[in-house]
Amino acid sequence: MMGVYGFYNYKLIIKCFLIFFVLSICLIVFTYRRHREYKEDLDEWSNLDCRLHEYEKKVEKIVYDLPGVAIVGIAKDHTITYWNAASKQLYGFNSKEVIGKMIESLIIPGSSFKNFVKNIDNLYDSDIKIPSGQAEYLHKDKTSVNVLTSFHKYETVFGKQELFNLSIDITELYKSQKELKKSNSKLHVLTRTDSLTQLPNRRAIIEKIDYEILKYERSKEIFAIALISLDNFNSVNDKNGHDCGDFVLKQISNLIVALIRKQDIVGRYSGEEFILLLPQTNSKGALHVTKLILGQIAKFPITYQDKEISLTATIGVIEYDKEETSVMEIIKKADKAMHKGKTKNKNKVIIV
């Protein structure tokens, strides 16, 4: 009995060993395949990681070398975290001089210091965006740098917020804009100034009168205008030449300017005619002023090349205390009054 029992045990052991052997082979094969697959995946991921790293380096180099666009990284505590090559070119500092330092201590002018700090804090704490637009920063040598600037906030994959300031140098453009503005301002003055007397010309004085009409429509504030015509002026040109006539016009214009108030405006209306705008003035006040002008012109000494030139003037005055149809309507009435004075021996003030 023992012999048979021992034989069966031996067969069972052999079967178990064979099963274990087969399972071991299978496990080895499976493990090898999984290892190979894992290795292939690992190699692929490693390759992808290397390529991604290379790509990141290329992108970083492109951003760093990006011409004309200064990119500055700003941490929440206002320290500089990034500084590309264009920033060095624009502001004069290299990255070693600025990384870890407060941005406002380097490139922000004192006049905008508080506002800049407030904007950065607001953007980090409450996402209140900083408007893009023109700004003035500082160069290392403390000269002004005019830039077109914008701020952008990002969140990294680790949840950390980063703020970047992008700026483009527009200093030359800004200078050109200022020069253009100056030129436009000069052109505006030239187109509204009489070249001989330097008084407002016909166009400018009409604009001023039109403005007074608008004021009257709002507040019923009266005003007066006076049309001043020099008597027998053509004889001055005929006897002494046009250079003399120009000299006389300059002298008379200076005289009138000296006699009127600061708020009053005198302009050259035509050849020998001047127009006077008297804000907040009624006909009585206008009569007083124009009689003073008339008297001073009559006794004003004008000497041209040792020649004494005597002149008088005739003035037509109108008080604006009711709505007229237009500026030209008012001037026509003053002109009519002035011509009426011309027919009455001149050297007079006629009020409509």
Does the pLDDT at position 275 exceed 90? yes
Task: Quick: pLDDT tens for 22-64.
Answer: 777 777 777 777 767 666 666 666 666 566 556 456 545 655 6
Say if 289 falls within a structural domain: yes
Same domain for 228 and 312, yes or no, is yes
Same domain for 108 and 221, yes or no, is no
Mean pLDDT confidence for 300-318: 90
Mode of pairing for the β-strands spanning 161-169 and 307-309:
unpaired
Same domain for 104 and 161, yes or no, is yes
Same domain for 231 and 147, yes or no, is no
3-class DSSP string for the chain: CHHHHHHHHHHHHHHHHHHHHHHHHHHHHHHHHHHHHHHHHHHHHHHHHHHHHHHHHHHHHHHHHCCCEEEEEECCCCEEEEECHHHHHHHCCCHHHHECCEHHHCCCCHHHHHHHHHHHHHHHHHCCCCCCEEEEEECCCCCEEEEEEEEEEEECCCCCEEEEEEEEECHHHHHHHHHHHHHHHHHHHHCCECCCCCCECHHHHHHHHHHHHHHHHHHCCCEEEEEEEECCHHHHHHHHCHHHHHHHHHHHHHHHHHHCCCCCEEEECCCCEEEEEEECCCHHHHHHHHHHHHHHHHHCCEEECCEEECCCEEEEEEEECCCCCCHHHHHHHHHHHHHHHHCCCCCCEEEC
Same domain for 207 and 341, yes or no, is yes
* Full strand arrangement of the beta sheet holding 80-83: 80-83, 69-74, 161-169, 144-155, 133-138
Q: What is the pLDDT of residue 184?
A: 84
* Lookup: tokens for 236: 């001055």
Q: Among candidates 268, 220, 217, which has minimal Cα distance to 246?
A: 268
Same domain for 161 and 251, yes or no, is no
Say if 50 falls within a structural domain: no
Indicate the residue among 111, 142, 174 that finishes a domain. 174
CATH of the domain at 203: 3.30.70.270
Same domain for 260 and 317, yes or no, is yes
Say if 326 falls within a structural domain: yes
Q: What is the Cα–Cα distance from 225 to 275, expressed in whole angstroms? A: 7
The answer to which of 32-36, 75-79, 100-104, 327-331 has the lowest mean pLDDT is 32-36
Scan for tokens 């060993």, then name that residue. 17
Q: What is the pLDDT of residue 102?
A: 92
Domain that includes residue 134, residue range: 65-174
Residues 6+ apart with CB under 8 A from 243: none
Does the pLDDT at position 294 exceed 90? yes
Indicate the residue among 121, 144, 174 that finishes a domain. 174
Does the pLDDT at position 160 exceed 50? yes
Same domain for 94 and 205, yes or no, is no
* Lookup: tokens for 61: 């180099």
Same domain for 194 and 317, yes or no, is yes
Mean pLDDT confidence for 313-333: 86
Local structure of residue 159 (DSSP, 8 states): S
Q: What is the pLDDT of residue 1?
A: 47
Does the pLDDT at position 210 exceed 60? yes
Local structure of residue 106 (DSSP, 8 states): T
Does the pLDDT at position 98 exceed 70? yes
Same domain for 158 and 219, yes or no, is no
Query: How confident is residue 287, by pLDDT bands cut at 50, 70 and 90?
Result: very high
Say if 240 falls within a structural domain: yes
Local structure of residue 129 (DSSP, 8 states): P
> Structural domain tally of the chain?
2
Same domain for 254 and 164, yes or no, is no
Q: What is the Cα–Cα distance from 52 to 46, expressed in whole angstroms? A: 10
CATH of the domain at 155: 3.30.450.20
Same domain for 332 and 201, yes or no, is yes
Spatial contact of 277 and 216, defined as CB atoms under 8 Å apart: no
Mean pLDDT confidence for 297-313: 89
User: Which residue type sits at 32?
Assistant: Y
Query: How confident is residue 3, by pLDDT bands cut at 50, 70 and 90?
Result: low
